[in-house]
Amino acid sequence: MKVNVDGEEMDVLAVWREGGVVKMVDQRKLPHSFEIIDLSDHRETAWAIKVMVTRGAGSIGCAAGFGMAQAALEAADLPEEEFTAYLNDAAGTIRKTRPTAANLFKAVDRCLKAADWGKVPVKVENVVKEAELILKDDIKATEEIAKAGAKLIKDGFKVLTHCNAGALAYIGLGTALAPIRRAHSEGKNVFVWVDETRPRGQGARITAWELEQEGIPYALIADNAAGYYMQRGEVDLVIVGADRIAANGDTANKIGTYEKAVVAFENKIPFWVAAPGMTIDLQTESGDDIEIEERDPEEVTRMWGLNDEGEATTISVAAEGTSARNPAFDVTPAKFIDGFITEHGLIERPFTEAFYWLYGQPGLPPGFKYAGT
Ligand code: RUB
Query: How many whole angstroms from 79 Cα to the centroid of ligand 1?
Result: 38
What integer pLDDT is reported at residue 73 of this predicted model? Answer: 98
- DSSP type of residue 207: I
pLDDT in tens, 267-322: 999 999 999 999 999 999 999 999 999 999 999 999 999 999 989 999 999 999 99
On average, the pLDDT of the chain sits at: 95
What integer pLDDT is reported at residue 120 of this predicted model? Answer: 95
Instruction: Give, for 131, the enclosing helix (H) or strand (E).
Output: helix 120-150
The string over 149-171, giving b where at least 16 C-beta atoms fall within 10 Å of a residue's C-beta and e elsewhere, is bbebbeeebbbbbbbbbbbbbbb
Quick one: how many helices (H) and strands (E) in the chain?
12, 18
Instruction: Give, for 60, the enclosing helix (H) or strand (E).
Output: helix 57-74
What integer pLDDT is reported at residue 373 of this predicted model? Answer: 42
- Nearest Cα to 16, choosing from 135, 165, 110? 135
Lowest mean per-residue pLDDT among 1-5, 66-70, 94-98: 1-5
| Ligand 1 pocket member 263 (CB < 6 A) | no
What integer pLDDT is reported at residue 69 of this predicted model? Answer: 98
Is a pLDDT exceeding 60 seen at residue 370? no
- Nearest Cα to 20, choosing from 78, 72, 90? 72
Lowest mean per-residue pLDDT among 11-15, 55-59, 110-114, 201-205: 11-15
Looking at the chain, the domain(s) classified CATH 1.20.120.420 span 2-142
Q: Which of 15, 28, 253 to mutate to test the pocket of ligand 1 (most atoms within 8 A of CB)?
A: 253
Looking at the chain, the domain(s) classified CATH 3.40.50.10470 span 148-372
- What residues form DSSP beta bridges with 37? 24
| Ligand 1 pocket member 163 (CB < 6 A) | yes
| Ligand 1 pocket member 56 (CB < 6 A) | yes
User: What whole-number percentage of the chain has pLDDT above 70?
Assistant: 97
Q: How confident is the model at residue 364 (pLDDT cuts 50, 70, 90)?
A: low
pLDDT in tens, 136-188: 999 999 999 999 999 999 999 999 999 999 999 998 999 999 999 999 999 99
The string over 217-241, giving b where at least 16 C-beta atoms fall within 10 Å of a residue's C-beta and e elsewhere, is ebebbebeebbebbeeeebbbbbbb
Is a pLDDT exceeding 70 seen at residue 361? no
Q: How confident is the model at residue 366 (pLDDT cuts 50, 70, 90)?
A: low
* Per annotation, catalytic residue among 195, 236, 243, 338: 243
Angstrom distance (rounded) from CA 80 to CA 290: 35
Is a pLDDT exceeding 90 seen at residue 226? yes
| Ligand 1 pocket member 202 (CB < 6 A) | yes
Angstrom distance (rounded) from CA 60 to CA 159: 26
**Can you tell me the mean pLDDT for 48-76?**
98
Q: Which CATH class is domain 148-372?
A: alpha beta
Is position 243 annotated as part of the catalytic site?
A: yes
Q: How confident is the model at residue 372 (pLDDT cuts 50, 70, 90)?
A: very low
Rounded-to-5 percentages of helix, strand, coil across the chain: 40, 20, 40
Q: Which CATH class is domain 2-142?
A: mainly alpha
pLDDT in tens, 247-262: 999 999 999 999 999 9
**Can you tell me the mean pLDDT for 57-62?**
98
